[in-house]
Each structure stands twice: as C-alpha cells, then as structure tokens.
Structure 1
Amino acid sequence: MPHLTISSDKAELDVPAIHHFLSTQSAWASGIALATVQRAIDHSLCFGGTLDGRQVAFARVVSDYATFAYLVDVYVLEEYRGRGYSKRLMEAVMAHPDLQGLRRFMLATSTAHGLYARYGFTAPLRPETLMERYFPDLYRQ
C-alpha cells in the first residue's frame, strides 16, 4: 500500500482541492466559498494527507491549545477510502503536541461514529449542557 504522508504545514496544503471537496462533495459544507475555506484554514491547525504528491485527506482543528478543541472538515477522497487513511489521519491529529491535555475535544459527525470512538470520542455525557447556533444551508444561500 502506498504511504500516506501527513503534515500540519499549511504551506503543503492544496487549498483549491480542499475547497473543491468541501464545496461539491461534503454533506456539511456544500457551496462554501473558497475565501471562507481559506479563512478557516488560516485560523486552524490543519492536517493534509498526501499520496504521490496528491492531497487525498484533510482534517482541521479549531482550538485555544490549552483547554478546548473542535475537530472539523475531516475527509478522505472517496477513491482512497477503505485503506486505513482515516485512521492514520486521526492518529496524527490525536498525537499532535499542541492538542494534548485538553479538557474538551469535540466533533460532529453523522456517519463516522465508529472511527472517532477508536480515539475516545463518545456521545456528550451531559447533552443538556450543550447549545448551538446552526445554519446548515448557509453556504447554499
């Protein structure tokens, strides 16, 4: 199996490829503008997974690096799924030195509960304490 290289160096990210996936293939960011993706990347800890020079995986973490983090925009391109790359990506995220010792690390998923459970993520212990403002169709307006 070819080796997936994972880097948190933003200079190595293929931002147009990330935008293309998020805006046309993701269930959560359909229609998102390139400028919005770039701003999100600029203000996040990002992980790009490359294979033979092509970016095939991505994850982004929003954090204060002291107490809290939120994992978002995790994907592996469809034609590269089923090869363990999502696990490699998550291992890199969870091992990153800036993300250790956090009190709360959150994410939202509708399809990958099994993947995230491997890394200690569970349903909220006290869901009654969580609130949100959520605009699911914001980018399609």
Structure 2
Amino acid sequence: MRDDRYEISDDPARVDAALVHHWLSTDAYWALGRPRAVQDAAIAASLNFGAYDRETGTQVACARVVTDHATFAWLCDVYVTPAARGRGLATALATTARDHVEGLGVRLVLLATHDAHGVYKKVGFTPLAEPGHWMSYGL
C-alpha cells in the first residue's frame, strides 16, 4: 500500500530536471554518467511522472514513458530516492504510467529491469512470452 504522504503527478512543469538528472546519473545502474543534456532531451520527449511530498512539494521519485501515444510504450527511468523507498512509490508510479497509456489506447508496454521484477509483477507486467522474437540494437 502506498504512503499517502506522497502524491503522484504527470504535470511536466513539476519535474525537477536537475534533481532527476542527479539521481539517475549518480545512483541508477542503467543511467550512471548520463549527461545532463541527454537527460533533458529524454524528459522533453517523454511522458513524465513524479512522486512529491505533499507537505514540502519536494520530488522524491520519477518515472518516464517513451510512447507513440497510440500503440506502444516503454516504461523507464523509474527511480525512488533512498529515503522514500519501501512506501509503494515505484508501484504507484508504474501503475499510474500504465493506466495513463492504456487511456491513450496503447496495448503494449515494455520495460527492462535487473532487480525490480516483483514491483512490476504487482502492476501486471510479465516476462516476454516469446523473447526469441525480440531483437535489439545498441551502439
């Protein structure tokens, strides 16, 4: 169950881009060393969700969705500050993002994780049914 001390918002004006960049580039295994310009471009081209302390307004977590707003979405950059972990915020962010893109008509949402399978399973994510059908390209 999520701690009611926090609220989830998809208002892009509330995202603290400098803070999100700091979190991801220094503490998230998938984004270590990510340049600020790259993070800012990613935020600008995505749907962004944040968790905020109701009392102070401070952002304590984030999630980002890359989508075509019609058929496909990629949930990424889900991060909760150490002080706010264990309060259901990652699950709440993933649920909010999932529900948002479902409302757009999106029927496929993917994500990648090394260590949070349990969080995403609660939201309905499952391993790929046919992983051999998928390919990737990375530089």
2:24 aligned to which of 16, 22, 25: 22
3-state SS in 1 of match to 2:79: strand
Give the TM-score normalised by the residue count of structure 2.
0.90
- Asked if structure 2 preserves the Cα contact closer than 8 Å seen for 1:47 and 1:93, the reply is yes
Which letter maps to 1:99?
Answer: E
2:69 aligned to which of 59, 62, 65: 65
What is the CA-CA distance between 1:25 and the residue it aligns to? Answer: 0.4
Q: Does 1:107 align with 2:111?
A: yes
Moved over 6 A (4+): none
Structure 1: tracts of 5 or more residues without a match = 136-141
Give the TM-score normalised by the residue count of structure 1.
0.89
What is the CA-CA distance between 1:48 and the residue it aligns to? Answer: 1.0
Q: Does 1:34 align with 2:36?
A: yes
Q: How many residues align?
A: 134
2:89 aligned to which of 64, 85, 89: 85
- Asked if structure 2 preserves the Cα contact closer than 8 Å seen for 1:49 and 1:56, the reply is yes
What is the CA-CA distance between 1:2 and the residue it aligns to? Answer: 5.2
- Asked if structure 2 preserves the Cα contact closer than 8 Å seen for 1:44 and 1:62, the reply is yes
- Asked if structure 2 preserves the Cα contact closer than 8 Å seen for 1:69 and 1:99, the reply is no
